[in-house]
Amino acid sequence: MLVFWKQKLVFLAVPKTGTSAYEAALTPVASMIVNDPPELKHAPVYRYNRFFRPMFDKVGSEHMDIIAVIREPVSWLGSWYRYRQRSFLDGRPTSTKGISFDAFCQAYATGDRPPFANVGSQAKFIEPRPNGVSVTHLFKYENQAGLIGFLEERLGVTLDLPRTNVSPRRDLELSAQTEEKLRRKCAGDFDVWNKAQ
C-alpha cells in the first residue's frame, strides 16, 4: 500500500495485479510505503478502513481517495497459479506443482477451497464498507495506459515501470465447463472487473 498524503490518495496493493512495479516506481514520491507484513501491504478496503483511515482522520485528513487495480479473473487466477508453482513452495500445501490450471480453478470455485487454491477474491478485497469507505478509482490491470495516465496527472510524475515479481510461464488451458463454473460461482469478481475503468 502506498500513501500520497499531499495528493490525498491511497493506492491499495491488490495481490497479483502488478502493484509491485508501481511501488518500485512511486516509492520516491510516496509519503508512506507499507510493504511488510503482507497483511498490511495487501490491506483490503476493510483493513484500510479499520486501521489506516482512523489514523489519517486523526491527523487531519477526513477524506482520502482510494485507487485499486483489478485483473480479469481468469488471468488473475493464472497469475496465482503460476506464482504458486515456484520452487520455494515445493512440498507446502499452497504449492500448485503437479496440479493443472483447470484443477486449480475447479478447486477455487468450490465452497471449501484447499490451501493451494485459497487465494481470496478481488471483489471481496475492494468491497465497500457500511460507513461509505470505498475505492474511488478502480482500474483494470489490462488498462495500464489509463492507470499510468491517472497516476502521472494526479501525482505530477512521469512513470517508468520496472518488471518485478514475474512468475514462470505455464500452460493455462481451461475447459469450457470449468470456465462456466468460475463465471457462475465467482460472478462478483467478473462484475467488478467489468465495471472498472
Give the closest residue to 100 by CA, choosing from 88, 117, 121, 112. Answer: 117
Give one DSSP letter per residue of 9-30, joined into a string.
EEE---TTSSHHHHHHHHGGG-
Confidence of residue 171 (pLDDT cuts 50, 70, 90): confident
State mean pLDDT over 50-78. Answer: 94
Residue 194 lies in a domain: no
Residue 196 lies in a domain: no
Indicate whether 122 belongs to any domain.
Answer: yes
- Is residue 67, in this structure, part of any structural domain at all? yes
pLDDT > 90 fraction of the chain, expressed in percent and rounded: 91
Does residue 21 fall inside a structural domain? yes
What is the band of 165 on the pLDDT scale with cuts at 50, 70, 90?
low
pLDDT in tens, 12-54: 999 999 999 999 999 999 999 999 999 999 999 999 999 999 9
Cell output for 69: 487495480
Q: Which structural domain range is residue 169 located in?
A: 2-187
CATH number for position 106: 3.40.50
The pLDDT value recorded for residue 168 is: 62
| Cα–Cα distance measured from residue 77 to residue 113, given in angstroms and rounded to the nearest whole number | 13
Tell me what the mean pLDDT of segment 71-95 comes to: 96
Q: Tell me which of 38 and 171 has the higher pLDDT.
A: 38
pTM score: 0.94
Reading phi first (left if > 0) and then psi (alpha if -120 to 50, else beta), residue 120 is in left
How many whole angstroms separate alpha carbon 4 and alpha carbon 162? 20
Number of domains in the chain: 1
111-154 tens-digit pLDDT:
899 999 999 999 999 999 999 999 999 999 999 999 999 999 99
CB 69 within 8 A of CB 141: yes
The answer to whether residue 162 scores a pLDDT higher than 80 is no
In a domain, residue 182? The reply is yes
Instruction: Determine, yes or no, domain membership for 121.
Output: yes
- CA dihedral of residues 171, 177, 180, 186 (deg, nearest 10): -70
Q: Check residue 101 and give its pLDDT.
A: 97
* Residue 153 maps to a domain: yes
